[in-house]
Each structure stands twice: as structure tokens, then as C-alpha cells.
């Protein structure tokens, strides 16, 4: 009852707002609306650009994330401050659920959505993971917000394509991370006589041997299952190249092809140089191990910078980074994005939130604090620290592929099967079983 | 029928709980079984287009499908290993401690509390600590937890990968924290049993020339068998439903340490497959029932015989 009355009130408000906006020429809190008219690309269903009310629609906006501490919390706080500045009428309600990589949060969210008790907006990995919600009819298209923000004029078309299903855009991306980065300890490498980043997997394995001979027992550091999936995906990318890697998800590359088999045996050799990990291990210990020189390398997304910073490590001296060998010029991306759940109590408040998330000011404030890079292409790079500047440059020029481990390339159900295969391989080290597990997962969930 | 006031108040008293149990236990069990037999399709996005895909055929085939899958058999095997080691371990430790205390140690109260304390800790809290203790890293410098202790003591050979080991028996290590936690409880049960047996019986046996072992074997243990059976059932069914400890130690969605209960979490939340989760839940229910129902039947019968 309450919901339906507030909803009709909101509809009235929108109608009134539309009229007044026409009269006054509108004021879209900080978002450049120059390109709003022609924003929708050829493939996107066109929609009227959303016109936020002056100061916001009012009411509460509950925002669900798993950004509960560390640099993520700081990012969310910065974004919230920006939201309150742009839309002072709306009040932000933080519904964050703690827990690494959203493992607890996703379970809570799933039951809230199932029980028709959706938050005002929730965080989701852009790409395939979001299609679970889209297919289940749990989130609404946000073409109008995207149009108001400027669409492909301000967001990369590559990225928008990955958010689009049958012509509708379902979320507003907030930030981009890169997954194919090796973090290394330059002192350890120097000791082992390594001065150049290796060019491909074979060269990298040879370097690992050198590091091992120099007295470091575990040249490579790994964590729990998802970090292993991420490592494996970058090996796949290195051995297959971006085109065949993308083909893994649309059926044009077979999971039992030679390239995949090579990647699996490379991956097995890599594990031979790694520490012993258990399924549930977290990622920060790996970064600490590289920093302390217990290991030379770790493959981790670029959120690792925050962990180095926490250790007061200096770039170049205490740590260095390069793309996973063989993936130079490729950007293995994952992105967070925000959605408009179906049946949200205050859809206009939610849209105001999405406007902030997608605005240049919001992306600047958020990404500077979180250590990621903006999804928008028009945010000035010189405001960011060194690593982020280089990542922004790469994101513009590199070939973009989607991360498996972080839900950009495959939906959750598929990812779960890939994770089991990787976890099984970690203990059994059976290459054939791994290939056949991956193949049957692709048959079950793919095309 | 002529005197309704004899049974009516009693019925009214228990009616609320009958209704609540009826709805929240039996109705939901029925609903769960019904769900487990459903045909299921799922709308997925493939290559930017919606597509309706069949994921379960419905009926008994949902069960054969799950029971036939390698992942589920792996989970069932893990459960078997966990349950056997856990039950045998707690029974032995519990019995041992209770015999020691029963012999009249000085400061019995202190020991009793020490043994019972672990039970006051929640599985989740204990799991966080045990996750660290059972870390698989080995060798000087790398090892933490129990392995580090062994390295420091010079017992390098005792280091183990614990539950992360590549072994069919890895779940035996997962039983360690559970044994640590529940042995005290079993001890308390046995101790109460021992205390319930009069001193005169032991005296009588000793006068008849029974050795200490014979006193236990022929006088005390037979009288403890109902307690042993209850303890067995309590620990056994806890083991079969164990979720929180494994979740805390191995993390969510661990393959290596999966048991049906943790797999159900994965099916429901990660794979978004309520039908498979319902099938799994029904199987867990049947497994527990196979153990508990004969016990209930047995206790009912013996009580009737006595009464």
C-alpha cells in the first residue's frame, strides 16, 4: 500500500518535473548535458534523457554495496559526499554488507530481491554477472540516465556494449579495474639478475627459476580460489591472445583447444613456483609477501596499490608492476556499476544516485579514493596518482577483454563451475581433468 | 466424549505449537520436497540476447542428476569422512576425559570447566582461529599456525596441509576443530552417567574380585550405553548438518572442503538454482532421518517397556 502511493506520488512528481524542466531549461546537477540529445548510440534503444529535479527528488536512497572498509569505504564516502552536494534533498542510506569480494553481500542481496524488498540501488560487476539480474527481471533499464549523462560521448563504446542487452543499458559504471597486472619486488628481481619484464609465459617461467635459485623459495605468491582463477585467466589470455580469449565466451574458441591446454600446463608450472594456499585465503597477504621479499611476484588487480600504500611502500623502489607476460597491450577489465532495481521505493532518488555515480565529479572523487580509474573518458588524468594515470592511458589505447574471476566475462553460475575446476586442479594437478571440467562448464552455461 | 473438559484444555494448550510446528516444519518440508521435483528453466543472456534454457527435467531425474554428479559425490564422501572422524574422536576424547575426572582428580571443577569452555565458543569464532591454525603453508618462515609450532619444536615431519591436502581423507583435519569443540560436551554427558551409578555397585564388584578394568567393562559401561547412544546421535546429526565451521575455515564456496550443507549455499546463492538446493536439502534430511528416526523409535519403545 505504502509503496504504491509513494510510487504514484513520485510519478506525479516526475510529470510535474518534466514540465518545469522544459520551462526552465533544466539543470542537471553537474553532468554535462551537451551530448544528451544524440547520446544513444545506434545499438541502444533511444530514451528521453532523465532530468533530475533541482536538488534531487527527495526521500531516502538505500545503496547496497560490499564496500565496508579500507580504500573501498573511503571511495564510497567520497561518492556519498558528492551525492549530498549534488542532490541535497535526497538522503543517502548506507546498506553495505562486509565480506571479501561481496561473497556475503551477494547472498543477502539475492534474498532481498527474491522477497521483493530491493534496495534503492545496488553494486554489481558490470558485464555477464549483471545478466543474472537482468534475465531474472530484477533490474530496470536506465537508458534515460545514460542519455542524460552523455552515453557513448563520455563512456567508451566497448564498455557500453558490455552493459547492453537487447538494446537496453542496465547499469551505470562507476569505476574500472585492471586484472592482468603482475606486482613485483624489484630488489628480489635484481638479486636474481632480472632487469627486464619477461615477454611471454616461457620467459616468465625461466625468470621464476632464476628467482628460486637466488634463494627465494616461493617466487610467485597466490591466495584463495578466486585469486587462482584470476591468475589462470591471465595465463589463458597470454597464451590465447585477446581474440581467442574472447572467443571462449561466445563459443568460437573451444575450451579443449590446444591453446587452452598449453595455458593449463603453463599454469601448472606456475603453481610449482607458488606458495601453499588454502581455498579461503585473502589477497592482502600476497601483496605483503611481495613487499617483504618473501615472494617476487603476485598477480592481482590494481586495487593492490592501496595495500602497498598502506605499507608505506614506494613505487619503483619497493614495488613495481607490469602487465602479465604476453598480455602487453591488453586490458583485462572489470568494472563496478550501479543499478535501478525493479520495484525500488524511490526510483527518482535512485536515478539521482545513478546521475552522481556517472557524473565526472562523482567519478573523480570516488576513483581517487578507491584507487581505480573512472569509467568516463573525460575525467582529467592529472588529478590521479602515477599508477592510475598509466592505467587510464592503457584503458584508452589497449584492447579490452573481460575478466572471468570478477564476473565480467561469465555469469555467476558459470564462474562457480570454473572456480571448482581451478580449486580441484590446485590439489590434484590433473591437466586433463581441468580441461574436461572447463569444457563441460562451457557446454552447460555457454552457447 | 462426554467429558470434554478432560482433554480440551490440554489440547488448547498444545494447539499453538502444533499449528506452528505444522506450518514451519512439516509444511515447509513438504514445500521443499515439492520444489525439488519441479521442472526448472532459466532465462539467460547469451550473446546479448535473452534465451530460455532448461536446467532441470523435473521429477526423480532431479535426484539422479544431482546424485550422479561428481561434485556431489565428492561432497558426500567428504561428509562421510568428516562424520566418522568427528564422531569417533569426540566419543573417545569425551569418554577418556570423563573417566579421568571420575577417578577423582584434584581440582575436578577447574578441569571440567576447561574442557567445557570450547563449547561456549561459536563455531564461527572458533573457525576463524582454526583457519589460521590449519594453514597449509609449510617450512621455516612460511609456516603459520600448527605447522609453525611443529617447525619450532623441530618436528618438521609432522607438518601437514591439513584440510587443503590432496587426499581423499583431507576432511579428517576439518574434524579436529569440531572434536576440540564438542568433546567437553560428551565428557559432561558421560560424567553425569558415571555419577548416576551408585558407589555400592563398584564396591560389590570389587568384593567379588573384579579388577578395575572388569568393573568398567562389566558394571559401568553397560549402564552408560543409553547415554553413549544419545551422544552418538547428537554428535552425528550435528556433523551432518555442519555448515558454519566449514564456512569459517574454508571460506564460502570452497570446493576442497565442500559437504552437502555448504554445497547448498553455493547452489542457492552462487548458482541461483533453488531446485538443486531443494534436492540437496531433501537428501540431507533423509540422511539425518536415517540416523535419527531409528533412535527415536528405539527410545520410544524402551520407555514404553519401562513405563
Nearest to B272 among A110, A128, A225 (CB): A110
pLDDT at residue A26 in the model: 36
**B49–A contact, CB cutoff 8 A:** yes
- Cβ–Cβ under 8 Å, residues B189 and B231: yes
Under an 8 A CB cutoff, do A420 and B271 touch?
no
Distance CA A60, CA A91 (A): 5
Q: Does B71 touch chain A (CB under 8 A)?
A: yes
What residues of chain A, 215 to 274, have a C-beta less than 8 Å from chain B? 217-218, 224-225, 250
pLDDT at site A43: 54
- What ipTM was estimated for this complex? 0.83
CATH at residue B174: 1.10.3720.10
Residue A226: φ, ψ to 5° = -65, -30
Task: Inspect the interface and report whether the beta carbons of A106 and B269 lie closer than 8 Å.
Answer: yes
Residue B246 DSSP SS3 = helix
CB-CB under 8 Å, B272 with A412: yes
| Residue B16: inside a domain | no
Closest by CA position to A366, among listed A177, A178, A230: A177
* Mean pLDDT calculated for residue range B39-48: 82
Residue pairs spanning A and B at CB distance below 8 A: 114
| B106 assigned to some structural domain | yes
Of the pLDDT bands very low, low, confident and very high (cuts 50, 70, 90), residue A49 is confident
DSSP-derived secondary structure for A74-140: HHHHHHHHHHHHH-TTEEEEE----SGGGHHHHHHHHHHHHTT---SEEEEETTHHHHHHHHTT-B-
Structural domain contains residue B157: yes
- Residue A53 is classified by DSSP as P
**Nearest chain B CA: its distance from A281 CA (Å):** 8
Q: Does the beta-carbon distance from A135 to B251 stay under 8 Å?
A: no
Cβ–Cβ below 8 Å for B137 and A275: yes
What residues have CB less than 8 Å from A337, skipping those under 6 apart?
A123, A124, A125, A126, A130, A163, A171, A172, A173, A174, A375
Same fold, A2-176+336-395 and A181-326+411-445: yes
Residue B42's pLDDT is: 84
Contacts of B204 (CB under 8 A, 6+ apart): none
Across chain A, mean pLDDT equals 87
Residue B182 has pLDDT above 60, yes or no: yes
Q: Which residues of A touch B162 (CB under 8 A)?
A: 278
Residue B146 lies in a domain: yes
Closest CA to A362 of A349, A376, A350, A344: A376
Domain annotation covers residue B234 = yes
Q: Give me the residues of A, 130-159, that contact B with CB < 8 A.
A: 131-132, 134-137
Query: Residue A112's closest chain B neighbor by CA?
Result: B269
Please report the pLDDT score of residue A241 as a whole number.
Answer: 95
In order, the DSSP letters of A145-178 are HHHHHTGGGTS-HHHHHHHEETTEE-EEEEEEEE
Q: Cα(B78)–Cα(B263) distance, rounded to whole angstroms?
A: 11
Identify the CATH number of the domain defined by range A181-326+411-445. Answer: 3.40.190.10
Cβ contacts of B49 on chain A, cutoff 8 Å: 165-166
pLDDT per residue as tens digits for the range A226-257: 999 999 999 999 999 999 999 999 889 999 99
B50–A166 CB contact, under 8 Å: yes
Q: Which domain holds residue B296?
A: 73-306
Q: How many domains does chain B have?
A: 1
Contact B164 A276 (CB under 8 A): yes
CATH topology of domain A2-176+336-395: D-Maltodextrin-Binding Protein; domain 2 (3.40.190)
> What local confidence, expressed as pLDDT, does residue B1 receive?
53
| pLDDT attached to residue A11 | 46
How do the domains of chain A map onto residue ranges?
2-176+336-395, 181-326+411-445
Mutate to test the interface with B, among A416, A418, A419, A429 (most CBs of B within 10 A): A416
Cα gap A21→A15, rounded to integer Å: 10
Is the pLDDT at A15 greater than 70? The verdict is no
Q: Is residue B35 included in any domain, yes or no?
A: no
Report the chain B residue with the minimal C-alpha distance to residue A109. Answer: B269
Residue B27 domain-assigned (yes or no): no
* Chain-chain contact of B164 with A413 (C-beta, under 8 angstroms): no
CB contact under 8 A, B141 and A294: yes
Q: Does B146 touch chain A (CB under 8 A)?
A: no
pLDDT in the model for residue A41: 41
Which segment of A40-49, B146-155, B241-250, B285-294 scores lowest on mean pLDDT?
Answer: A40-49
Stretch A68-72: mean pLDDT, rounded? 82
Q: What is the mean pLDDT of residues B13-29?
A: 95
- In sign, the C-alpha dihedral spanning A27, A29, A34, A39 is negative
Q: Has residue B93 been placed in a domain?
A: yes
Q: For residue A143, give the H/E element and its range.
A: helix A143-149
Amino acid at each position: 500500500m505504502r509503496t504504491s502511493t509513494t510510487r504514484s506520488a513520485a510519478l506525479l512528481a516526475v510529470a510535474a518535473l518534466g514540465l518545469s524542466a522544459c520551462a526552465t531549461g533544466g539543470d542537471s546537477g553537474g553532468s554535462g548535458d551537451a551530448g544528451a540529445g544524440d547520446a544513444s548510440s545506434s545499438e541502444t534503444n533511444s530514451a528521453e534523457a532523465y532530468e533530475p529535479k533541482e536538488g534531487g527528488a527527495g526521500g531516502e536512497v538505500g545503496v547496497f554495496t560490499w564496500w565496508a572498509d579500507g580504500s573501498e569505504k573511503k571511495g564510497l564516502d567520497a561518492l556519498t559526499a558528492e551525492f549530498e552536494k549534488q542532490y541535497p534533498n535526497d538522503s543517502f542510506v548506507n546498506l553495505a554488507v562486509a565480506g571479501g569480494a561481496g561473497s556475503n553481500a551477494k547472498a543477502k542481496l539475492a534474498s532481498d530481491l527474491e522477497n521483493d524488498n530491493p534496495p534503492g540501488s545496488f553494486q554489481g560487476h558490470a558485464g555477464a554477472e549483471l545478466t543474472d539480474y537482468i534475465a531474472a527481471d530484477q533490474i530496470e533499464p536506465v537508458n534515460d540516465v545514460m542519455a542524460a549523462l552523455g552515453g557513448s560521448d563520455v563512456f567508451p563504446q566497448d564498455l557500453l556494449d558490455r552493459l547492453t542487452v537487447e538494446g537496453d543499458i542496465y547499469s551505470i559504471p562507476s569505476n574500472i579495474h585492471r586484472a592482468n597486472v603482475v606486482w613485483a619486488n624489484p630488489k628480489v628481481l635484481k638479486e636474481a639478475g632480472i632487469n627486464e619484464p619477461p615477454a611471454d609465459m616461457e620467459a616468465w617461467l625461466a625468470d621464476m627459476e632464476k628467482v628460486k635459485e637466488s634463494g627465494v623459495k616461493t617466487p610467485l605468491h597466490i591466495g584463495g580460489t578466486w585469486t587462482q582463477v584470476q591468475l589462470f585467466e591471465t595465463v589463458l589470455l597470454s597464451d590465447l591472445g585477446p581474440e581467442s580469449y574472447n572467443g571462449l565466451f561466445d563459443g568460437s574458441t573451444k575450451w579443449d583447444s590446444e591453446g587452452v591446454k598449453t595455458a593449463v600446463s603453463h599454469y601448472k608450472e606456475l603453481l610449482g613456483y607458488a606458495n601453499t594456499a588454502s581455498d579461503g585465503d585473502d589477497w592482502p597477504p600476497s601483496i605483503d609477501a611481495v613487499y617483504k621479499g618473501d615472494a617476487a611476484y603476485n598477480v592481482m588487480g590494481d586495487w593492490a596499490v592501496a595495500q602497498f600504500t598502506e605499507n608505506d611502500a614506494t613505487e619503483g623502489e619497493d614495488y613495481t608492476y607490469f602487465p602479465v607476460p604476453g598480455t602487453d597491450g591488453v586490458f583485462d577489465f572489470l568494472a563496478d556499476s550501479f543499478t535501478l532495481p525493479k520495484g525500488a521505493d524511490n526510483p527518482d532518488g535512485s536515478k539521482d544516485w545513478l546521475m552522481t555515480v556517472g557524473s565526472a565529479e562523482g567519478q573523480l572523487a570516488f576513483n581517487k579514493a578507491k584507487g581505480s580509474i573512472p569509467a568516463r573518458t573525460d575525467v582529467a588524468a592529472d588529478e590521479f596518482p602515477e599508477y592510475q594515470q598509466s592505467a587510464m592511458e592503457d584503458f584508452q589505447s589497449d584492447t579490452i577483454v573481460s575478466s572471468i574471476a570478477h564476473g565480467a566475462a561469465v555469469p555467476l553460475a558459470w564462474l562457480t563451475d570454473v572456480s571448482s575446476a581451478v580449486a580441484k586442479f590446485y590439489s590434484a594437478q590433473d591437466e586433463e581433468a581441468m580441461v574436461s571440467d572447463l569444457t563441460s562448464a562451457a557446454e552447460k552455461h555457454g552457447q | 466424549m462426554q467429558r470434554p473438559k478432560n482433554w480440551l484444555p490440554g489440547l488448547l494448550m498444545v494447539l499453538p505449537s502444533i499449528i506452528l510446528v505444522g506450518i514451519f516444519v512439516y509444511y515447509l518440508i513438504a514445500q521443499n520436497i515439492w520444489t525439488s521435483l519441479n521442472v526448472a528453466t532459466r532465462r539467460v543472456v547469451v550473446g546479448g540476447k535473452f534465451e530460455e534454457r532448461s536446467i532441470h527435467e523435473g521429477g526423480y531425474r532431479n535426484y539422479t542428476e544431482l546424485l550422479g554428479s561428481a561434485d556431489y559425490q565428492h561432497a558426500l564422501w567428504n561428509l562421510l569422512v568428516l562424520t566418522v572422524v568427528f564422531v569417533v574422536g569426540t566419543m573417545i576424547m569425551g569418554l577418556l576425559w570423563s573417566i579421568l575426572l571420575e577417578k577423582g582428580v584434584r581440582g575436578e571443577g577447574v578441569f571440567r570447566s576447561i574442557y567445557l569452555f570450547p563449547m561456549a565458543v561459536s563455531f564461527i569464532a572458533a573457525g576463524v582461529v582454526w583457519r589460521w591454525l590449519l594453514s597449509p603453508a609449510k617450512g621455516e618462515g612460511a609456516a603459520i599456525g600448527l605447522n609453525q609450532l611443529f617447525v619450532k619444536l623441530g618436528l618438521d615431519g609432522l607438518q601437514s596441509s591439513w584440510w587443503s591436502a590432496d587426499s581423499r581423507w583431507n576432511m579428517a583435519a576439518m574434524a579436529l576443530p569440531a572434536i576440540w569443540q564438542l568433546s567437553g560436551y560428551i565428557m559432561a554427558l558421560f560424567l553425569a552417567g558415571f555419577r548416576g551409578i551408585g558407589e555400592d555397585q563398584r564396591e560389590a564388584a570389587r568384593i567379588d574380585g573384579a579388577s578395575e578394568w572388569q568393573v568398567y567393562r562389566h558394571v559401568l559401561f553397560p549402564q552408560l550405553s543409553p547415554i553413549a547412544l544419545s551422544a552418538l546421535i547428537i554428535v552425528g546429526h550435528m556433523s551432518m548438518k555442519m555448515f558454519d565451521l566449514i564456512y569459517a575455515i574454508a571460506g564460502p564456496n570452497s570446493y576442497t572442503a565442500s559437504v552437502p550443507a555448504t554445497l547448498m549455499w553455493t547452489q542457492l546463492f552462487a548458482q541461483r538454482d533453488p531446485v538443486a538446493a531443494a534436492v540437496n536439502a531433501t537428501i540431507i534430511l533423509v540422511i539425518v532421518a536415517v540416523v535419527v528416526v531409528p533412535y527415536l523409535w528405539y527410545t520410544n519403545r524402551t520407555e514404553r517397556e519401562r513405563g
